[in-house]
């Protein structure tokens, strides 16, 4: 009995020594330190990812700004090119008129006279004589008399080999005078009545120009697109392409 009483306190003391408080447990302390270190590492990683993401966003923004600048430059260049092409085309038209009219027949109408209704600019003259005088009137920007001369030419010489050209320059006389409705009608006649004429691509192009000036955007686009599709290798097709790009830039 005495021995039992001596053993029990010893066992109690030994048992108490096995229950160490958590704050003093070296294993728990070690695990807590590892957890803290892991959290610190994760915070560093998150910060680094945020910095990298910010840098990537900034780089993308710079790229977008650069592309926007390039786009604006291209739009400006396209508009400028279209205008240069238009001016060159107008100059070409003028030079063609001069070449076609260089052998003029004498006529009082060129000396400041006026045409009477139903009268040719060169009464009794050949088709070529009358055609050349009508062209010279157009070159001199005497648009009313030029139009009247070409009208009389077509009445007097409907079967002339110059008839398709005369029809085109009649329309051009109206176009140059900003009479776009009349010009449209006569450019259309070039296409309908002289489908094999070399003036057809130019007539289609000018129909696009007339409709553009009248703010008929879809009709303008249809005519210019037709030039590209049907006469892709012509100067008129290249000018049509420039004008279509101009319309796209203008948002019409």
* pLDDT over 80 at 243, yes or no: yes
- Please indicate, yes or no, if residue 29 is contained in any of the structural domains: yes
54-70 pLDDT per residue, tens: 666 666 666 666 666 55
Selected residue with higher pLDDT from 223 and 32? 223
- Please indicate, yes or no, if residue 48 is contained in any of the structural domains: yes
- Please indicate, yes or no, if residue 108 is contained in any of the structural domains: no
* pLDDT over 80 at 160, yes or no: yes
Domain of residue 56 covers 24-60
Selected residue with higher pLDDT from 165 and 87? 165
Q: Give pLDDT, residue 124.
A: 86
What are the residues whose beta carbons fall under 8 Å from the beta carbon of 242, sequence distance 6 or more? 78, 81, 82, 85, 86
Q: Give pLDDT, residue 14.
A: 45
- Please indicate, yes or no, if residue 31 is contained in any of the structural domains: yes
Which whole number is the average pLDDT over 188-206?
97
Which whole number is the average pLDDT over 85-108?
59
Measured CA angle at 210 (ends 143, 74), to 5 deg: 120
- Which range of 5-9, 13-17, 32-36, 72-76 scores highest in mean pLDDT? It is 32-36
- Please indicate, yes or no, if residue 80 is contained in any of the structural domains: no
pTM > 0.75: yes or no: no
Give the pair of three-digit tokens for residue 220: 């303008």
- Please indicate, yes or no, if residue 251 is contained in any of the structural domains: no
Mean residue pLDDT of the chain comes to: 79
- Please indicate, yes or no, if residue 41 is contained in any of the structural domains: yes
- Please indicate, yes or no, if residue 34 is contained in any of the structural domains: yes
* pLDDT over 90 at 174, yes or no: yes
116-132 pLDDT per residue, tens: 666 888 888 999 999 99
Q: What is the 3-state secondary structure (H, E, C) of the chain?
A: CHHHHHHHHHHHHHHHHHCCCHHHCHHHHHHHHHHHHHHHHHHHHHHHHHHHHHHHHHHHHHHHHHHHHHHHHHHHHHHHHHHHHHHHHHHHHHHHHHHHCCCCCCCHHHHCCCCCCCCCCCCCCCHHHHHHHHHHHHHCCCHHHHHHHHHHHHHHCCCCCCHHHHHHHHHHHHHHCCCHHHHHHHHHHHHHHCCCCCCHHHHHHHHHHHHHHCCCHHHHHHHHHHHHHHCCCCHHHHHHHHHHHHHHHHCC
Number of domains in the chain: 1
């Amino acid at each position: 009995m005495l021995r039992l009483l001596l053993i029990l306190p010893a066992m109690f003391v030994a048992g108490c020594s096995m229950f160490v408080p958590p704050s003093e447990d070296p294993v728990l302390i070690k695990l807590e330190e590892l957890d803290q270190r892991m959290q610190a590492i994760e915070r560093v990683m998150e910060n680094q990812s945020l910095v990298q993401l910010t840098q990537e966003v900034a780089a993308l923004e710079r790229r977008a700004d650069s592309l926007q600048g390039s786009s604006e430059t291209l739009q400006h260049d396209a508009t400028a090119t279209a205008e240069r092409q238009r001016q060159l085309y107008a100059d070409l038209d003028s030079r063609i008129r001069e070449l076609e009219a260089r052998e003029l027949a004498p006529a009082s109408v060129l000396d400041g006279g006026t045409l009477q209704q139903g009268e040719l600019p060169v009464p009794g003259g050949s088709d070529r004589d009358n055609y050349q005088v009508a062209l010279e009137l157009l070159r001199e920007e005497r648009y009313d008399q030029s139009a009247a001369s070409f009208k009389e030419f077509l009445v007097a010489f409907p079967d002339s080999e110059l008839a398709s050209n005369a029809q085109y320059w009649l329309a051009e006389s109206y176009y140059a005078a900003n009479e776009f409705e009349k010009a449209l009608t006569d450019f259309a006649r070039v296409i309908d009545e002289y489908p094999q004429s070399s003036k057809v691509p130019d007539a289609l192009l000018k129909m696009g120009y007339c409709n553009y000036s009248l703010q008929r955007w879809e009709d303008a686009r249809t005519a210019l697109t037709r030039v590209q599709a049907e006469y892709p290798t012509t100067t008129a097709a290249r000018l049509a392409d420039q004008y279509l790009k101009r319309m796209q830039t203008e948002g019409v």
